[in-house]
Structure 1
Amino acid sequence: MDNQEEYIVPLLPLRGLLVYPTMVLHLDVGRDKSVQALEKAMVDDHLIFLTTQKDLSIDEPVEDDLYRMGTLTKVKQMLKLPNGTIRVLIEGLVRAEISEFTEYPDYYSVQLKTHKDRTDRDTEDQALMRTMLEYFEQYIKISKKISAETYATVSDIEEPGRLADIISSHLPLKLNEKQEILELIDVKDRMNRVIEIIHNEKEVLNLEKKIGQRVKKSMERTQKEYYLREQMKAIQKELGDKEGKTGEIAELTEKIENAGMPEHVMLTALKELERYEKVPSSSAESAVIRNYIDWLIALPWSKATKDDIDIAKAEKILNKDHYGLEKVKERVLEYLAVQKLTNSLKGPILCLAGPPGVGKTSLARSVATSLNRNFVRVSLGGVRDESEIRGHRRTYVGAMPGRIIQGMKKAGTINPVFLLDEIDKMSNDFRGDPSSAMLEVLDPEQNHNFSDHYIEETYDLSKVMFIATANDLASIPGPLRDRMEIISIAGYTELEKIHIAIDHLLPKQLKEHGLSKTQLQVRDEAIKKIVRYYTREAGVRSLERQLASICRKTAKIIVSGEKKRVVLSEKNVEEFLGKTIFHYGQAEAEDQVGVATGLAYTTVGGDTLQIEVSLAPGKGKLVLTGKLGDVMKESAQAAFSYVRSKTLELGIDPEFHEKYDIHIHVPEGAVPKDGPSAGITIATALVSALTGNPVRKEVGMTGEITLRGRVLPIGGLKEKSLGAHRAGITKIICPKDNEKDLDDIPESVRGELEFVLVSHVDEVLEHAIRSEGQE
């Protein structure tokens, strides 16, 4: 295989630094041409050529100022720093030599010829590798400036050329010596040169050791520190770090002491700082340690915002931002009240569960405002890697803390309102189970000692107010669901949607579309029509889109000069939004035999449901149609059995099941229908069909039936009542056990409806079926 390839890539000259192939390290780039070269590389294929300047003082080097041999590298990451410089993470790929040098106004470009190391090994290579590793191990033991972990990492390398490069990068060599090794293309020559250098360094270290032991006895402590600092400065100067780390170390020490860390964390940070001081700047480990120290300093350890506990003010903020959602608001106000009394309550962990578009995320933001706390949001949708929550171990290249610690850094305080958005969208695969990692985060008994793999030291999350949002509770694992206080948000009623549209959505859309209230006036009845006939949802996103559509069309009318103002009423809604999209059930125009009106609850609110029963000559076959679910089929069978058992009392032919086939149908057959609330409606329609007495048109009903005729409670009475009111029904029959739910129904609706509370089917039939001679 040919070991040479041609490339044309941008050039980045380095001052006082040299990069070997396979090395991964951070660089800070500030010169204009270098920045342009980087941006050119990012636009193309992320490849850039790094070579070292012969003279460090030259700001704009030309071809003769650069070594011809360098390293072709790949840009892995690029980050703009506040001081204007750019920090990049680069990975060395292969030795390369400049064939042709081109200077553009903005950057330098070079044509390269690469020199790949041969991959085969002979016995001489193996002997040289063993010798080199043995010498390096002896050097580490004498030097004590390189950790044993470094040797363990190096000893695993099997390629001779790469081994020589990596060992060279850890040796305190002058720049010209490192360049000499870089220019040795032959692997054997390179290994021989590295062995020679390590041997010389060992000799120097042994001499220094002897001298140090001789002088040690007579040297006072202050003289010793001064001597070591001066020696360190000299070494750093030789390595190309002109300024040294002295000033930087002092600054970092001050930041660590002022960060408010717990004592054990501070000791760890100072220990890492001591390591950082000893590691050469050119070493990849230096950037890793510095990044870790920066994270420890940046995290809030003790800084907190003071809660503004004013119940009336908090309630005012919550009511201003959100209409309805009373249970959530009440829970937040309860938390504030207890916090004011105890001043030491742990942060609660709430989970707002409900369909999309009902304001779960924006509600969490309002909670933060009402508490006077910082707000931070982390989206968990699609997270399937445990390390996203717990962070990566620092042994990995590009390791980072998890999203929880990142969020705390962003928040800047130890007591923010922390929103875990879409917690039900996490999934697991071979990289771990992130929902299991969340267990520690969301356990009030454990999260004061939360452990992140990157930070390693425990972090206190107990003062954080966690708010999670979810659409589907069933997809959240049981142990995780158990740690949260679930607050269900069923969706908005029609009245609530109208209020939200008038008070929040319409003003927002007017502002976004550059319209004033005089240019577009929307009547309340128009909004009511839009809610009823153009949207069908639990939230208000679709409603907002329809209002945005009206605003766009209005803007076009005004800009084109057709009109100066637009008034949207119930009559001209269709001109703006087209024909109606949805329709709702309506009460029957007259009493019908074998047709009863049931009340249904859906994810987008309440609606009416017509249940039809027809009889045909047959042998008692029961046919159910209308795409009914299992629960609803069982309700029909229970109603049928009850009617059979009560034929005499109801005045029905006892032999009807042997004379007739009975067909029960629920219209809109393509729509799936299920739920335990249609029992009494089916029973009423059956009795009506069998007796020939009509069902009152103004009556709607909901409730489950037992074989003995008892009426069992149901859910969603508020939504069902609103749907019935909209359909023109005036009397609602519901289970007696649902009496407690009547308080949830808005007063304006409750005043126009008559509620009949029943505990037995006999009472239902009495109110629902019109007997002969009855008006």
Structure 2
Amino acid sequence: MAITEEKHVPLLPLRGLLVFPTMVLHLDVGREKSVQALEKAMVDDHFIFLTTQKEVSTDEPSEEDVYQLGTLTKVKQMLKLPNGTIRVLVEGISRAQMIEYVDEGDYLAARLEVVEDSTEKDPETEALMRTLLDYFEQYIKISKKVTTETYNTTVDIEEPGRLADIITSHLPLKLKDKQDILETIDIKERLNKVIDIIHNEKEVLNLEKKIGQRVKKSMERTQKEYYLREQLKAIQKELGDKEGKTAEVAELLEKINQAGMPEQVLETAKKELDRYEKIPASSAESAVIRNYIEWLIALPWSNATKDDLDIMKAEKVLNDDHYGLEKVKERVLEYLAVQSLTNSLKGPILCLAGPPGVGKTSLAKSIAKSLNRHFVRVSLGGVRDESEIRGHRRTYVGAMPGRIIQGMKKAGTINPVFLLDEIDKMSHDFRGDPSSAMLEVLDPEQNNSFSDHYIEETYDLSKVMFIATANDLSTIPAPLRDRMEIINLSGYTEYEKLHIAKEHLLLKQLKAHGLSKSNLQMKDEAITQIIRYYTKEAGVRTLERQLAAVCRKVAKIIVSGEKKRVVVTQKNVSDFLGKPYFRFGAAELEDQIGVATGLAYTNFGGDTLQIEVLLSPGKGKLILTGKLGDVMKESAQAALSYVRSKSEKLHIDKDFYEKYDIHIHVPEGAVPKDGPSAGITIATALISALTKRPIRKEVGMTGEITLRGRVLPIGGLKEKSMSAHRAGLKKIICPVDNARDIDDIPESVRNDLEFVFVSQLDEVLQHALAGEEK
């Protein structure tokens, strides 16, 4: 090794390439600084320093991004290509060590120490050269990448350093390994490194050859097996045999035998399996049959859970999960009692009817839990296609069983508690009437042989305990309603809501919001305040939302570090929920003329209704406003006719209908109102307006009248009574025929209200009108 001189030449960084001394090769140059460096070299003495970048992706390399040792080369030729790059022919001269990296602005340059290889040879060097050539010859024989001509050019090389460089340039090495050889200045060390590299490459090539031979043998064996399989398929096809489905069919047959199907269904399944065997797998019908067989296997035909007939335990489960709802609990316990005696009772079909939020769906879950049965729920809201219930025939693309069969598959047993949610929300159109399809499902005499269009075989639903839920029974067709046992859930009293909030809702919301009883204490008076002034509903859904709102506020207080424990009292409820939404005790504050309080029954429970009558000079015109339905309009006409017929007895001017226009209005005009129970309320308000006698503010009334003043019975007395109780009324006037319904009303409501049962309008007036007759 000898350092011959220092040079200051342009620098050209190379990406993914390395040039050895004595090598001649073409380069394509495209980077602006590299082009400028070439042009500078051509202007000077044609010398340029080539060094390799450490990372190929670097576009503007700095001193740290290139190797310090590279090759001093001479530019032999330069040609500009049409795409803007420059093709240049360079010849490696010698190794060079960069001692200074210079950025000239337009191009890069370097100050170098040129390193020349020693040409002296001793016996050891000669031996190393011969070993290297011998290894290289062996490598060429194994490798296909280097030709024999290349070896012939290396045999005549006398310089040991050049020999090592030339052989290294022909080896498929990583750039880093080639750079290592370039940086090895000592000749003997360089020769030894190249010998080691070739020896390793030989070993790798021998291993590749062995692996290749093994792969070839494996490929030949695979091709042979493929050929034989294709021959076997052809033979099976000619014989009409199972076209290679033997294992799959055997597996399906085993599942069919284990499914516990009835004899007829088992026969059908095996027949379909036989068809499946003979149809080619590429046929579209093959997938249809396979899907059908899998549905038959997946359905529960005989698997059943054992009912837990411990009545005491079932009663405890129902009481723990729900407060109140005594009728429903009693009905479930009756079912258990009969089941324990007979062990053969068909599944009852209950319909839980009531306003939203009273716990219909959760009650069905509790029933399943108390019976130790699986629970499955199907929502019927918005279903308008009969195929949703009965399924689609298999001739249609994408056919599926109906929701009943899908629910049974999900349940996994033949005796689940099956909830038909929102059964009153089904509708019908040109695709059929799903409520008619439900008739077979819910008829205890027919559902032991339910037929689904997709399954086609009859399925036994008689052991299923169907529970339907509905908000409005009037929208359910009469034949369907007749098949169900209706249990009305009319809503909760204030006392019941308080217990539900304390024992269920508040605990649930504390857990949901990451709180505990030590973080939040809510007084009974505060919960009562929320029930009275922040909710107005039959159920408890809005109450739960308001409790959740309180929990959110408390969570914020605790996280912000203001307090670690919050007590919500009657006085500070408004701090959490704002000003009250409703006025508790919606009864009138004073007796008024021409304003009567009626009791109404809606889909959302009971409610109070103010009916106003106003007289103005006119010609007997009857004006009805408040979005009244036809039935209420007819009640108003009947009330007016009754008053005209009894005008003398009521001390009313008999010509009043010629002197006055009568305007009857029911406030909240945007809400539709209808129903056959407003007759006595309208008549009382009308008589009050005509006689100038005020109506007692604490009195609510419900009932329809005839033209002769007889009071007819009404429905929903329990709900109406509870709404009167919520509104703060003290006396309810209702038809005498409804006295039988008094036991349905919660005791806490009965104790706070005075019930007056009447048969004639005269009796209504005695209790409703204040002051003396004029």
**Aligned partner letter, 1:525:** E
Closer/same/farther in 2, CA of residues 515 and 618 from structure 1, 3 Å limit: same
**In structure 2, what is the equivalent of residue 543 of structure 1?**
543
What residue in structure 2 maps to residue 319 of structure 1? 319
Q: Which amino acid aligns with 1:302?
A: S
CA distance in 1, matches of 2:677, 2:296: 58
Structure 2 CA distance for partners of 1:174 and 1:392, relative to 1, 3 Å: farther
| In structure 1, distance between residues paired with 2:681 and 2:365 | 44
Who is 1:150 aligned against?
Answer: none
Partner amino acid, structure 2, of 1:752: D
Contact 1:491 1:603 in 2 (8 A): no
Alignment of 1:328-727 (within 5 A): 328-394=328-394, 399-428=399-428, 433-583=433-583, 586-727=586-727
Letter in 1 for 2:562: E
The alignment partner of 1:648 has SS state of: coil
Kindly provide the CA deviation profile for residues 472-528 of structure 1, in whole angstroms up to 9, marking residues without a partner as x: 445445544443333343444444333322222111111111111221122223223
- Separation in structure 2 between the aligned mates of residue 204 and residue 337 of structure 1, nearest angstrom: 62
Q: Is the 8 A contact 1:585 1:607 kept in 2?
A: no
Distance in 1 of aligned mates of 2:772 and 2:287: 93
- Give how far 1:403 is off: 2.9
Query: In the TM superposition, what is the alpha-carbon distance from 1:361 to its structure 2 partner?
Result: 1.8
Given residue 750 of structure 2, which amino acid in structure 1 is its aligned partner?
A: R
Aligned CA RMSD, in angstroms, stands at 3.7
SS at match of 1:265: helix
> How do 1:154-173 and structure 2 match up within 5 A?
none
Partner of 2:762: 762
Aligned to 2:246: 245
Contact 1:596 1:684 in 2 (8 A): yes
Give distance in 1, aligned partners of 2:529 and 2:494.
Answer: 10
Q: For residues 254 and 702 of structure 1, do their structure 2 counterparts lie closer, same or farther at Cα, with a shift above 3 Å needed? A: closer
What is the identity, as a one-letter code, of the residue corresponding to 1:765? Answer: L
Aligned with 2:752: secondary structure?
coil
Deviates more, 1:418-427 or 1:566-575: 418-427
Q: Number of matched residues?
A: 551
Aligned equivalents of 2:736 and 2:470: distance in 1? 33
Q: 1:428 to 1:677 in 2, by over 3 A?
A: closer
Say if 1:629 and 1:281 are closer, same or farther in 2 by CA, change over 3 A. Answer: closer
Distance 1:351 1:636 in 2: 35
Measure, in 2, the Cα distance between the counterparts of 1:440 and 1:531.
43
Please identify the structure whose Cα radius of gyration is greater. Answer: 2
1:742 — aligned with what?
742
Letter matched to residue 630 of structure 2: D
Tell me the distance in 1 between the aligned counterparts of 2:256 and 2:720: 61
**Does the Cα contact within 8 Å between 1:595 and 1:610 map onto a contact in 2?**
yes
CA distance in 2, matches of 1:656, 1:738: 34
What is the letter of the counterpart of residue 341 of structure 1?
L
1:321, 1:204 → 2: CA distance? 63
SS at 1:635 equivalent: helix
CA 1:606–1:472 in 2, change beyond 3 Å: closer, same or farther?
A: closer
1:304 match = 304
Secondary structure of 1:725 counterpart: helix
Shift of 1:266: 2.7
Q: Is 1:752 aligned to residue 744 of structure 2?
A: no
Q: 1:435, CA displacement in angstroms?
A: 4.0
Please name the residue that 2:121 is paired with: none
Mapped contact 1:585–1:608 kept (Cα < 8 A): no
The alpha-carbon distance between structure 1 residues 375 and 697, as it changes in their structure 2 partners (threshold 3 A), is: closer
- Whether the 8 Å CA contact 2:304–2:413 is kept in 1: the answer is yes
Kept in 2: contact 1:300–1:414 (CA 8 A): yes
3-state SS in 2 of match to 1:486: strand
Does the 8 Å contact 1:619/1:660 carry over to 2? Answer: yes
How many angstroms does 1:555 deviate by? 0.5
AA of the residue aligned to 1:545: R
Letter in 1 for 2:308: D
Deviation at 1:533, TM superposition (A): 2.9
Q: Is the 8 A contact 1:593 1:694 kept in 2?
A: yes
State the Cα deviation string for residues 636-690 of structure 1 (Å, max 9, x = none): 3322332332333333333444444444444444444333333323333333333
Q: Is the 8 A contact 2:693 2:773 kept in 1?
A: no
What letter is aligned with 2:263?
A: E
User: Offset of 1:387 from its aligned partner?
Assistant: 4.2
Cα distance between partner residues in 1 of 2:481 and 2:545: 33
Change (3 A) 1:304 1:540: same
Amino acid at match of 2:649: E
How many angstroms does 1:559 deviate by?
A: 0.7
After superposition, what is the alpha-carbon deviation per residue over 1:595-618, rounded to whole angstroms, capped at 9, x for unaligned?
333333334444443434444444
Identity of aligned residues (%): 78
**Aligned pair in 2 of structure 1 residues 276, 174: CA closer, same or farther (>3 Å)?**
farther
Amino acid at match of 2:517: K
Aligned runs of 1:210-225 on 2, under 5 Å?
none
3-state SS in 2 of match to 1:649 = coil
In 2, Cα distance between the equivalents of 1:693 and 1:443?
56
C-alpha spacing 1:528/1:277, structure 2 compared with 1 (3 Å): same
1:652–1:691 Cα contact (<8 Å) kept = yes
Query: Does structure 1 conserve the Cα–Cα contact (< 8 Å) formed by 2:525 and 2:569?
Result: yes
DSSP-derived class of the 1:593 partner? coil
Inter-CA distance 584–640: structure 2 relative to 1 (3 Å threshold): farther
For residues 541-590 of structure 1, what are the alpha-carbon distances to aligned partners after superposition, in whole Å with 9 as ceiling and x for unaligned? 22222211111111111111111112222322222222333335633444
For normalisation by structure 2, the TM-score amounts to 0.64
- Indicate if the aligned counterparts of 2:490 and 2:719 stay in contact, CA closer than 8 A: no
Q: 5+ unaligned residues in a row in structure 1: which ranges? A: 1-172, 180-196, 210-231
Change (3 A) 1:704 1:495: farther
* Alpha-carbon offset, residue 396 of structure 1: 5.5
Q: Is the 2:493–2:749 contact (alpha carbons within 8 Å) kept by the matching residues of 1?
A: no
Distance 1:282 1:319, change over 3 A: same
CA drift at 1:695: 3.0
Native 8 Å contact 1:536 1:604 kept in 2: no
Indicate the SS of the match to 2:599: strand
Say whether the 8 Å CA contact 2:449–2:459 is kept in structure 1.
yes
SS in 1 for 2:652: coil
AA matched with 1:535: T
Structure-2 separation of matches of 1:281 and 1:544:
56
Write the distance in 1 (CA, Å) between the matches of 2:488 and 2:770: 40
CA distance in 1: counterparts of 2:383 and 2:589, whole angstroms:
54
Aligned match of 2:163: none
- Give the direction of change, closer, same or farther, for the CA distance of 1:328–1:517 in structure 2 (3 Å limit): same
Structure 2: which amino acid aligns with 1:609? L
Quote the Cα distance in structure 2 between the aligned partners of 1:757 and 1:389: 46
After superposition, residues 153-192 of structure 1 pair within 5 angstroms as none
Pick which of 485-494 and 344-353 moved more.
485-494
Q: TM-score by structure 1 length? A: 0.63
Q: Which amino acid aligns with 2:645?
A: S
- The question of whether the paired residues in 2 share the 8 Å contact of 1:538 and 1:603 is answered with no
Q: 1:558 to 1:652 in 2, by over 3 A?
A: same
